[in-house]
Amino acid sequence: MSELWLKFRDEDGAPQRVAVRQDSFAIGRHSENDLSIPVSNLSREHLRIERFGGVFAATDQGSSNGTTINGGKLSGPVTLKDGDVLDLGGGLKVEVEIVSEEADPYASFYDIPMEKAAPDVDDANPAAPYVSSTSALPAGTSAIPKSVFYIAPILGLIVIVLIGTVVFMSGGKKDVSAGPGNREDFQYSSNSDEDDPPVSEKTNESPGDRPGAVPGPTGTPEAGSLGSNSSPPPGGTTLPEGGSAERNVAAFMRSIAQNDQRAFLTGEQVNLVSARIKKFEGSGALADNINSAKKNAAQIKSLAAAKNLKPQFLAAAALTKLGNQRGDALQTAQSMADVLDKLATQIGNELGEDCVLMMAAYNQGAAGEFLKMRNMLQDVATKSNESSRTIRTIWFLNKNGKITQAEFDMALNFLAIGTITQNPKDFGVKAEPLNL
């Protein structure tokens, strides 16, 4: 396995060398990144490096000033090589160093100097021909005792008989159900490569839904000091394309973020969203509210652009606030826009999970507490071994008691209603899809 290091000079001009330990490693000026470099040229989250087995890929996260690699624009996921130079935001240069950790199985052999053995020389007669040590043995004497040739076959026969007896008595079966060292998940593998789906070297990860033919992030969280229940870097099981809830929640998550084509949830999380969708299935009020948002689409788009929000996010936020009560979607969006704008400044809205966090924190923002969620996330990050992307999810925060039930419900309602807006009729809601 290879190890990636990043070499650069920090804001004070001091040389730094940082190891990329996580499967998904974020770089930016915000303190919640895995590598935070507080310089003005960087975006909040500027670049992300992800590991796929022994390969590292870099992706610009929609940064304002962009990223170049070896002088060329980084416009999609690019595999990093040793010696590559990344320029983040015009001036901050980061050199890539890839070190192989694979030990050469023959290293010890190569390292031993192969000295030529000096021939045996008769000190009294240096010119005498060389005579090997074996040839100098008395006649009839072998370098290996003859008894070895009799004993070795007998010992081998005894071992074979013992092994056959054990196999016969055990019935040829391997007990892997109990006992120290036995694994309950022991399986005999097939010789056919077609029997197994392609799986990357990261735990439980399949090639994902990302652009540029780069697999999606890992979703199995590692055990941290606070536990885990969400994605990552690299997050949960990538959403399957079958099933209304799974398919539509993925599309919704992609549509509300500034720059995130990597929507993924665990099966448990999808089940929670599906259960919450039932609260709004067949709702006539929600159908009317969706139609109200479609009718005022132009105004909602204009308002969202002024607040640097995605129109789909602002519309879904308004529909969430209305819930199963009929109302004016545009008027509700106008009442929420300033609060969401300020929350986006503190929490971010580049990823779909960021937008879900903003909805969890909406009532905090409405009460003027715009820093509360951000400060809590920073505090958790200093105490947990989880990646920043895992921590910045409602699933992780809810499991670890870091958000209230009301905040979790607000975010879950948002996901449920947003999922329905993608294809309302799939959920018994008589309205056309809301795609702003």
> What pTM value is reported for the model?
0.50
- Residue 44 pLDDT: 87
Does the pLDDT at position 181 exceed 70? Answer: no
- Residue 389 pLDDT: 80
- pLDDT tens digits, residue range 206-217? 333 333 333 333
Tell whether the torsion through CA atoms of 240, 34, 15 and 40 is positive or negative.
Answer: positive
- Residue 99 pLDDT: 84
- pLDDT tens digits, residue range 72-89? 998 888 889 999 999 987
Does the pLDDT at position 138 exceed 90? Answer: no
Q: Average the pLDDT over 10-38 and give the result.
A: 87
How far is 415 from 262, CA to CA, in rounded Å?
16
- Residue 169 pLDDT: 57
Contact partners, residue 64, CB within 8 Å, separation at least 6: 43, 89
Question: Which of 167 and 173 is assigned the larger pLDDT?
Answer: 167
- Residue 40 pLDDT: 78
Residue 164: pLDDT band (50, 70, 90) is: low
Q: Average the pLDDT over 390-418 and give the result.
A: 94
CA angle 68, 70, 75 (to 5 degrees): 35
Contact partners, residue 243, CB within 8 Å, separation at least 6: none
In this structure, what token pair is assigned to residue 14? 């001091």
Tell whether the torsion through CA atoms of 188, 192, 194 and 195 is positive or negative.
Answer: negative
- pLDDT tens digits, residue range 215-273? 333 333 333 333 333 333 333 333 333 357 888 888 899 899 887 666 667 788 889 99
Domain architecture of the chain: domains with CATH: 2-100 (2.60.200.20), 274-427 (no CATH)
